[in-house]
Structures are given as C-alpha cells and as structure tokens.
Structure 1
Amino acid sequence: MTSKVIYTIVAATGITIASGAAWWYQQPRASADDRPDASREPTLQASRNASPLAPLAGANKLAAGFTNSAKTAAPPVEASPVEIVRLIDDVRSVGSLRSRRGVVLRPEVSGRITQLNFTDGQRVRKGQVLVQFDDQLPQAQIQQSQAELSIALANQKRNQELVAQNFISQRSVDESAANLQVAQAKLALSKATAARLKILAPFDGITGIRQVNVGDYLKDGSDIVNIEDIDAMYVDFRLPERYQSKLKVGQQTELEIDALPGSRYAAQIQAIDPLIDANGRSIGVRACVDNRALQLRPGMFARVNTVFGVRDQALVIPEEAMVPQGGRQFVIKLQRNETGQWISHRVEVKTGLRSPGKVEILEGLQAGDTVVRTGQQRLQQDGAAVTVVNLDSGAPAVSAASVVSAGPAVAPTATPSGVNPCRTQFRLSGA
C-alpha cells in the first residue's frame, strides 16, 4: 500500500515539472534585437501587416508561368510522307509438282517378256511398242481363225449362188451367213488376245527406271515401268477459303523451288476444285508451268505465290500512323501555316492492302502529304502546332515479289520458244 502512494506522488511531481518546463520554454526571451529601434520599426510593421500566404502565392504564380509556357510549346512528333509504291496483291502457299500425264505400265494378262524396246530414261512416242510378251499361242490362234474365216466366206458365196438357182433353201444361206459372223468374231478375239501381249506407250513422255528384264514371267497387274510427260508440270496447292472469290482460271502464279535456289517459274492456274475441304476450310488449286527445259521433276516441293492484282501507283504510309477510333480509321495530317509552323489535322482515310509495317491508303490522302508516325497521343485537338523531330525521306519502295517487301531481284527462268504446252488442249484419251 505504501509503495502505491509513493508511485503516485512521484508521477504527479514529474508531470508538474514537465508542464513547468514546457511553459518556460514557450515564453519569449528579451534580447538586443527586441529593444525598440526607430530604424527597425517600419520593417517590423510591414512584416506584421504582410499576409502569411504570400510565399504560397508567389509559388503559384511561378508554376502558372511554367504551365502556360508548356501549353504554348509545340509538342514533338515523328512524321513520314505518303509514298508511291508498286503493290502486288498476292498470297503465298506451298505445293507439290506432278507430271501433266503420268502412268505406270502394267500387263493385262500373264506372260513371259521376250522384248524390251526401250532404255531407262528414254523419250518415247505415243504408240511405240515398249514391251513384247511371248505371243506364239495367240498367233497360232489367229492363223486358225483366219482359216476358218476363209472357209466361212467360201461357203457363204457358194450358198448365195445355189439359192439363186433354187438348188438349196434360204435357210442354208442364213446358216452360212451366221457361220461367217462367228468366224469373223473368232479372228477378232484372237487378234485382241495377241494385242494384249504388246504394251504400247499411251502418250509422248520419258520412261522411268524399269523393274523387269527380258525373260521375266509377269502376272497381270505387275509393275513394269513408269512414263511421265513433263514438258508441262502441274503444281497442286491449297489456299484458305476466303480467297475463293479472287481465284480465277488463267491467273498467274510464281513458283520458287527449294531444290533450285535462285530460280523462279511462271505458272498459270488451270483448274479450281469446286469442293472446299471441310477439315481445313481450304480450296484446292492446280496451276501449270512450262517445263520444256526439263529442269523440274515430279514430286518437287514448291513455294507458290498467287498474284491477284498489281497496283503500280499505290499510296502507302507506315502502319503505326493509323489511329483507329470507333470502327473508323484516321491519320493526323501535317500542313505548314503562313509562318512555316507544322499544324496537325485529323483526317479519316480508307485503307486497302496491308503488309508488314505498311498500309495502303485508298481515300483521304494524296502523294506528298505528311502524316504523324509517332506522338499522336500528344495532339488532343485539330489545329495544334507541332515540332517535327524526325521526317523520313520517303524514298519509293518498289517490290517485284510481294506487297512492299524487298525480295531477291531474280527474274523468272527463261523457257524455250514455241507454243507453251500449258495452253495445249488434249483429250483424256490422249488422242
């Protein structure tokens, strides 16, 4: 109990001493500067009359001055001129080369090979006998059929003479006529059987590597050799379905063959598949390329560039200059005023083809106009003055391979003179 009283007294004493010290510290002290002085009286009076917010007001005036100068300064932007270039509306894909006509020769009947009338890789003509099978038995049947036909002809002639003299009935003449027809049919059958033992070239082409030799016995359907017509080559490729409205027979395409670097080949679209693949949503296209120089081979991998149109005087600007707003496209166009200062104007444009870093302008701009490339966010209203810190030279970019893309300057490979085999029409029978 005694300790609690002592603690209370000590705490009260400490509080009293601290309060007194604080009061003493806050009381003004007299000094030499506090004595009345006539020379200091006006200054002290002015200090007492001055507002305590005067320093803050001065700072506000200084900040306002900086703000006004910033507003009047022209914001810096980068600009580019509208360029005139050559645009090619095209699409790239990959495809495979195949012969215009190709076939693997196979026998229709079994037999033993007696003659091979070609060498590997030889050019052959339509109707040329390439393979001859053993035809001794069919030839004997042909001779037998010819003999039976001779007898039937003689009987028919004799019966016609006898019926004219009323020595035989008309029935005998009819029977001899039927026998004559049977003999003719047997002869035709024998010749057809013998013809199947000869394998002819179905069209002009080049033979491949044969799989057989003289003396081999082949069953019907066995592979003998392939023949390829490669004077004209087909390239089969596929394009997305969105291009089906642009594809037309006769359009030009360009091929680049990985196996033949540095060469390009012109091709022409021959057919468009009416069926769109439901799995990949793509459409099949076949183009024909002149290959009389025999540089291309079936099975080669090809990169196909299909051209839909060419625009020699197209207007393009950098892609970053576009300012989309509410489904519409705008650019900030720069013009000089009377004092030579650049002034900005927002202009709505209509775009066309696009390529990496470039976009075509169909309406809204003209050749020689200047547009803001970067810094559009600094321009809040039309008619604002700007400072152009970097203006592109605007040298025209001419492309011969794609839309404003500098591809290798390689001319299409030259082809022999004469009629282009891709324009030659032939029936499926090869006649």
Structure 2
Amino acid sequence: MSKPRVIMWLAVAALAGAAFYVTKDRFAPGAAPPHGSAPAQTVAAQTAQKQSWQPTMELVGELVASEGADLSLQVSGIVESLSFESGQTVKAGTPLLQLVAEDQIAKLASLKATAELNAIILKRDIEQLKIKAVSQATVDTDEANLKNSQALVKQQEALVSYYTLKAPFAGRLGIRNVDLGEYLSAGTAVVTLQALDPLFADFFVPQKFFGTLKVGEPVKVMVDAYPGQSFAGTVSAINSKVESGSRNVKVRATVANPDSKLVPGMFARISLDVGAAEDFVTLPQTAIVANPYGSTVFVLEKTADGKGLVARETFVKLGEARGDFVAVVSGLTEGETVVVAGQIKLRNGTPAVIDNSHLPKVELNPTVSD
C-alpha cells in the first residue's frame, strides 16, 4: 500500500474515533456538558409525587342473563292466539301463546263429570253402609274409583296447560318466530326470554390469583357499546375447579342493569382488583425519554450558586402505566422536579428555565371527549 493511501486511512480512522466519543458523551447519562456556557432552555416540569394505586387485572368475558330461555311447547298444534309482541317486557306467568285445544278441554270436562259422579256414589254408599245396605268392600271400591277419576282430571288439566305458553319468569322477549294459524311442532322455539336485571359477567382468571379471589370483591365492567362508561358489579361466584386446559378459574360477577343498557351475549372487559393498594412515585408519561440503553428522565437541580437550574439525566425503572401516568419503580424519589416537556433541547448540565404556562393536562383516568 502506498504511503499517501496509508496516511488517508489513518486520518479517516481518527475522525471516526472522535465522532464515536463525541456521540457517546452526548447520550450517556451523567456525561459532562461541552466546554463553554450553554444558553438556558425553557422547559415544562412537575414534581414527582406518590400515588396509591390499587393493583388490577384487565380481563375479558361475556355478559350472561341471570335467567334466559328459548321458550317452546311440549306438544304440537295450530297457533290459535298470540298475546305478545316482539321486544315486549313481561311479568312471570304472562300468557304468550295458545294452541287449539278444544278436544283436550272437552275430554277434561268429561273426566270432571266422571269424578263428580264417583263422589256422589261414594257419599251415597257411605250412608247405605250405616244401615248395612252395602258392604264395606263396596265403599272401598267407590273410594278407589273417586281417587282414580280425580287423578285423571289432574292429568288432563296438566295436558291442557301444555297447550298454553306462559312466561316462566319476568324479562324481555326477543323476536317472535311463529305466526297466527301456523302449525307448531313440539320443541319449536317460539321466542327467547331474557331477564336483564341483574346480569352476570362470566370471565376467567389465571390460577395464580385464585388465592386472592373473594366473593363480594368489586369489579368494573365495560362494553364497546358505551365507550368511556363502566358498570359496577361484584364477584358473586367462583368456580370450584380450575380448567385443566387453560389453568384458569371461571369467575362470575353480578352486574346491576336497571336501565337495561346491557344485554346478554355482549363482549365485556372486566377490571378486577387484586391484592392491597401500593404507593408509587408517578410521572406523566411525557416525562420519559426512551433510549436503546434504557428509559431516562431529566431532573432539574439547583446550580452551585443556587441561582439557576441545570438538567441531570438519570435512568429510571418503570412499572405499570395508568392513563397519562406511569409508575417509577426505581431511579427517582418523591419531590424531585422532573422535566415533562422540552427534553429534546436538553443534555446533562444544560441550564434550564421552567415555564408551565402551556403544560398539557394529565389525568389518571382520561376519557375520550366529543
């Protein structure tokens, strides 16, 4: 290799090394500022404060009716009358549908007449027995005939009732599936009935939290139909076994639904408290500077003469984020002043001036505004 080329490569290597050390000093926390005084940079800052956060789990589940059924009849027949409309709210015992049942009603009348006759015969033979006009065997037979006829009446009454569909509990009806005059086969779903208040929210919790689950614990239920709104509930039941496939335990919460905003089948997000509340030093998430070598924040400290502020970059270990805040597990103490906006202008030792006149509002539970 020629001497001029060797000199050129040595010069390139020297420049690369200088650039490396300048870049390293610029981004490493604790690095000293360059020689010469830098102008003060205007930033927004807040004091790091402690907040008590209740550990929670965000789970997914499904809303289930406390009582729900697809109503149908045990017998076949022609629809004689309909006494409800789709979407109607009904009380328990409300008649909904009647099948044609004249022949069954007539048979019931015949059996009642037979029972009445047997009652008369028994009464007459009891009187005859007093004067020894009939034997005890005759009276015993009369009693058996009466009981048999009464049982047949009850059997027929039950059969006649099968031709009438009634609401087994109070709730809201769905969409009607049959029409007047239609032939209805036994077991055909006529309409669905759902009890809407209260509702159940069923969800699964990992087995490692089984020991912390308690009946009566509060939960918050959220559904996509009502963004930003939560519905309060309480844990009402915990399954007695862990699912072998997923190693999760099924939990049921009861949710009040007086306005019937919620309906069964909705996908739900459930927030469940776990364990005791913990205290964390918290910061707005805008204060965090994400770097390849870790998360850092700029802390403002007084200068040696106490007349100004300088920035010091320090590593922090982050925990859970909630809303606009994030918990700082280590690297920061309560009461320190931390830059929350304008960090891009700072490096270690940069003089700073605080101006919070345009500081954005941060909330623990922000909501989407219209």
Q: TM-score range by the shorter chain?
A: 0.5 to 0.7
Q: CA deviation at 1:161?
A: 0.9
Tell me the distance in 1 between the aligned counterparts of 2:87 and 2:336: 62
Q: Which moved more, 1:276-285 or 1:311-320?
A: 311-320
Q: 1:368 aligns with which of 315, 324, 335?
A: 335
Q: State yes or no: 1:197 paired with 2:163.
A: yes
Name the counterpart of 2:63: 97
Q: Which moved more, 1:146-155 or 1:231-240?
A: 231-240
Q: CA deviation at 1:310?
A: 6.7
Q: Which moved more, 1:267-276 or 1:166-175?
A: 267-276
Please list, as runs of the form range in 1=range in 2, the aligned pairs for 1:203-282 lying within 5 A after superposition: 203-282=169-248
Please list, as runs of the form range in 1=range in 2, the aligned pairs for 1:7-406 lying within 5 A after superposition: 76=31, 83-308=49-274, 311=277, 314-315=280-281, 354-355=320-321, 358-360=327-329, 367-368=334-335, 400-401=364-365
Q: CA deviation at 1:205?
A: 0.8
Which protein is bigger by CA-based radius of gyration? 1
**The residue matched to 1:191 in structure 2 has which SS?**
helix
Q: Is contact 2:318-2:327 (8 Å) kept?
A: no
Tell me the distance in 2 between the aligned counterparts of 1:166 and 1:400: 96
**The residue matched to 1:223 in structure 2 has which SS?**
coil
Q: Is contact 1:319-1:359 (8 Å) kept?
A: no
**The residue matched to 2:68 in structure 1 has which SS?**
strand
Tell me the distance in 1 between the aligned counterparts of 2:142 and 2:71: 43
Name the counterpart of 1:56: none
Tell me the distance in 2 between the aligned counterparts of 1:355 and 1:286: 27
Tell me the distance in 1 between the aligned counterparts of 2:82 and 2:135: 55
Q: CA deviation at 1:260?
A: 2.2
Deviations 1:165-194 (A, max 9, x none): 112211111111111111111111111110
**The residue matched to 2:222 in structure 1 has which SS?**
strand
Q: Is contact 1:102-1:227 (8 Å) kept?
A: yes
**The residue matched to 2:55 in structure 1 has which SS?**
strand
Give the 4+ runs in structure 1 shifted more than 6 A: 317-320, 387-391
Tell me the distance in 2 between the aligned counterparts of 1:119 and 1:192: 26
Name the counterpart of 1:408: 367
Alignment-mate amino acid for residue 217 of structure 1: Y
Alignment-mate amino acid for residue 121 of structure 1: G
CA gap of 1:242–1:389, structure 2 versus 1, over 3 A, is farther
**The residue matched to 2:103 in structure 1 has which SS?**
helix
Deviations 1:233-281 (A, max 9, x none): 2221112222212221111222221122232222222211122112122
Tell me the distance in 1 between the aligned counterparts of 2:351 and 2:219: 40
Tell me the distance in 2 between the aligned counterparts of 1:76 and 1:151: 112
Once superposed, what is the RMSD of the aligned Cα atoms? 4.0
TM score, norm. by length of structure 2:
0.68
Name the counterpart of 2:19: none
Deviations 1:118-160 (A, max 9, x none): 0111111101111111111111111111111111111111111
CA gap of 1:352–1:177, structure 2 versus 1, over 3 A, is farther
Tell me the distance in 2 between the aligned counterparts of 1:81 and 1:279: 48
Tell me the distance in 1 between the aligned counterparts of 2:253 and 2:362: 27
**The residue matched to 1:408 in structure 2 has which SS?**
coil
Tell me the distance in 2 between the aligned counterparts of 1:253 and 1:112: 48
Tell me the distance in 2 between the aligned counterparts of 1:366 and 1:296: 45
- Alignment: residue pair count: 296
**The residue matched to 1:244 in structure 2 has which SS?**
helix
Stretches of structure 2 that go unaligned for 5 or more consecutive residues are: 1-29, 33-45, 290-300, 307-316, 339-347
Alignment-mate amino acid for residue 64 of structure 2: R
Tell me the distance in 2 between the aligned counterparts of 1:353 and 1:215: 67
Q: Is contact 1:99-1:298 (8 Å) kept?
A: yes
Alignment-mate amino acid for residue 358 of structure 1: A
TM score, norm. by length of structure 1:
0.59
Q: Is contact 1:85-1:398 (8 Å) kept?
A: no
Q: Is contact 2:62-2:203 (8 Å) kept?
A: yes
Stretches of structure 1 that go unaligned for 5 or more consecutive residues are: 1-74, 321-334, 341-350, 372-386, 402-406, 411-431
Deviations 1:321-365 (A, max 9, x none): xxxxxxxxxxxxxx99x999xxxxxxxxxx99745853457xx99
Q: CA deviation at 1:400?
A: 4.5
